[in-house]
């Protein structure tokens, strides 16, 4: 690597950047012939930091600065490289070497350039770059993923009006990137404050993507080998938890935003009232469509969990993530005052009840009724939620196991302790249990296939 460095020092910044990609392409192509997952050592990383990110090797040296035109040319060089490299394995390892955080001073430059590269790839539809970015989002700590999502949202929702249509079109080009982007966006916008409510344009794009094919949000899960213990601090396998949070918190979050933006909580201008009412209606319809799509995905999830032999063993909607959601709903309900937000509280709790019920029945959420009773005990009263908490429990066909469990809890979940059983409600009729696992039909996932279920209009 030292010989390569000496030859690159004599070149101008753009020539050196192009040359370092060429040398590392040869280096990693050779390594991949000997090992399917070669270890990226310090040498290639240092070359990339010095000649791509312009971070000098010597501590006392001043970092070089590319002007705007040179930076654009560098992005074009990188885009063209990933487009022209035919081997996906080489593309992936070069992308990872370029943009995997190293915990050093080059990380800021690394993230800035990554945001601009992916933004350009969206604009000119460079699918290889988007696919590499999807893999990067899957294996990089969530904090960095949120930074990339924020950069893209700024570019396509704030910087240039109308450019959101360009982002919308990548759905057909790279569904895998769209899935990971949605997961990162739901981590970014958690509705905990008015600043963390997703922009209307972004919300509309994501809802339309998912409504067109709800299975989009399962792409990463369906195409990833599942480890027994999922890594902590990374994005989740699906955006399901984040989307449930959006749907459940939205009525209360928008009510809070309206309350804080109006002087004394009142609006006198008729035109302003009509404008706000129209925006509220748009948000309401979008979240209703999204909630429907999320429930549809949860309903088909049981089949896919069974295919992977994970039914009842892996929760894609973690109970631990439902705890802060319920706490936030309770806090918002108290903050808004039930007398002034009764409709919003009712809608929020209805959606929570529906999501919990369908997630439990499909095996996405692993918990017992006792868990739910404890979790929801402090929430305002809601008829549907009470029905879910105390409703009928499906009985097991396994006579050796105690009653009161959903079928998917018979097998201890991966990484979870087995829950204690509680007796079923004797006054309610038992529902027929699910058949044994092999009896479930197998449904092959086809990314381009239109989702067959549509709401009754």
Counts for the chain of helices (H) and strands (E), in that order: 19, 0
Residues β-bridged to residue 141: 234
> If you average pLDDT over residues 4-19, what whole number do you get?
85
Percentage of residues of the chain with pLDDT beyond 90? 60
Q: What is residue 455's predicted lDDT score, i.e. its pLDDT? A: 41
- For the ranges 22-36, 67-81, 92-106, 413-427, the lowest mean pLDDT is seen at 413-427
> If you average pLDDT over residues 340-358, what whole number do you get?
95
The residues near 299 (Cβ < 8 Å, ≥ 6 apart) are 358, 362
Digit-coded pLDDT (tens) for 434-443: 444 443 333 3
> If you average pLDDT over residues 214-230, what whole number do you get?
85
Q: What is residue 420's predicted lDDT score, i.e. its pLDDT? A: 42
**CA distance linking residue 20 with residue 187, whole number of Å:** 35
Digit-coded pLDDT (tens) for 74-121: 999 999 999 999 999 999 999 999 999 998 888 999 999 999 999 999
Residue by residue, DSSP assigns 156-219 as IIIISTTTHHHHHTHHHH-HHHHHHHHHHHHHH--SSSGGGSPPHHHHHHHHHHHHH-GGGGGH
Query: Which position has the token pair 């429990």?
Result: 393
Q: How many other CB atoms sit within 10 Å of the CB of residue 112?
A: 14
pTM for the whole structure? 0.82
Rounded to the nearest integer, the mean pLDDT of the chain is: 83
- For the ranges 33-37, 65-69, 73-77, 303-307, the lowest mean pLDDT is seen at 33-37
Q: Which two tokens stand for residue 288?
A: 């209703």
Q: Over 50: is that where the pLDDT of 56 sits? A: yes
* Residue 230, SS3 per DSSP: coil
**CA distance linking residue 118 with residue 161, whole number of Å:** 19
> What is the C-alpha end-to-end distance of the chain, expressed in Å?
64
Digit-coded pLDDT (tens) for 140-159: 999 999 999 999 999 999 98
The residues near 428 (Cβ < 8 Å, ≥ 6 apart) are 391, 392
**CA distance linking residue 51 with residue 373, whole number of Å:** 58
Q: Are 92 and 137 in contact (CB under 8 A)?
A: no
Residue by residue, DSSP assigns 417-443 as PPPPP-PPPTTSPPPPPPPPGGGSPP-
Digit-coded pLDDT (tens) for 265-286: 555 565 555 555 667 788 999 9
Q: What is residue 65's predicted lDDT score, i.e. its pLDDT? A: 82
**CA distance linking residue 393 with residue 419, whole number of Å:** 15
């Amino acid at each position: 690597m030292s010989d390569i460095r000496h030859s690159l020092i004599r070149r101008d910044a753009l020539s050196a950047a192009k040359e370092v990609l060429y040398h590392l392409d040869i280096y990693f192509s050779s390594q991949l012939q000997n090992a399917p997952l070669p270890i990226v050592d310090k040498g290639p990383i240092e070359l990339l930091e010095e000649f791509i990110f312009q971070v000098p090797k010597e501590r006392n040296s001043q970092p070089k600065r590319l002007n705007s035109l040179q930076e654009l040319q560098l992005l074009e060089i990188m885009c063209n490289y990933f487009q022209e490299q035919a081997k996906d394995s080489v593309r992936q390892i070069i992308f990872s070497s370029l943009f995997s955080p190293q915990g050093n001073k080059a990380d800021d430059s690394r993230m800035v350039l990554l945001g601009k590269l992916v933004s350009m790839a969206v604009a000119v539809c460079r699918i290889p770059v988007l696919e590499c970015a999807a893999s990067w989002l899957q294996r990089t700590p969530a904090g960095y993923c949120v930074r990339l999502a924020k950069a893209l949202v700024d570019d396509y929702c704030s910087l240039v009006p109308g450019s959101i249509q360009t982002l919308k079109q990548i759905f057909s080009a790279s569904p895998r990137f769209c899935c990971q982007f949605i997961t990162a966006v739901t981590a970014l916008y958690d509705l905990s404050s008015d600043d963390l409510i997703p922009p209307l344009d972004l919300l509309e794009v994501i809802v339309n993507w998912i409504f067109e094919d709800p299975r989009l949000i399962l792409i990463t899960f369906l195409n990833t080998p599942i480890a027994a213990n999922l890594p902590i601090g990374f994005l989740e396998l699906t955006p399901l938890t984040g989307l449930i949070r959006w749907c459940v918190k939205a009525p209360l979050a928008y009510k809070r935003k309206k309350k804080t933006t109006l002087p004394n909580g009142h609006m006198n201008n008729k035109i302003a009232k009509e404008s706000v009412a129209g925006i509220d209606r748009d948000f309401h319809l979008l979240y209703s469509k999204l909630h429907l799509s999320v429930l549809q995905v949860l309903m088909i999830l049981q089949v896919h969990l069974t295919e992977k032999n994970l039914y009842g063993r892996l929760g894609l909607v973690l109970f631990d993530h439902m705890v802060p959601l319920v706490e936030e709903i309770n806090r918002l309900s108290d903050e808004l005052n039930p007398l002034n937000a009764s409709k919003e509280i009712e809608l929020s709790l209805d959606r929570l009840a529906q999501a919990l019920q369908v997630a439990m029945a499909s095996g996405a959420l692993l918990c017992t009724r006792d868990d739910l009773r404890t979790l929801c005990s402090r929430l305002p009263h809601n008829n549907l939620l009470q029905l879910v908490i105390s409703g009928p429990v499906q009985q097991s066909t396994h006579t050796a196991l105690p009653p009161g469990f959903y079928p998917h809890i018979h097998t201890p979940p991966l990484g979870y302790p087995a829950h204690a059983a509680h007796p079923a409600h004797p006054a309610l009729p038992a529902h027929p249990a699910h058949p044994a696992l092999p009896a479930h039909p197998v449904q092959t996932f086809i990314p381009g296939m239109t989702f067959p279920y549509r709401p009754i209009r």
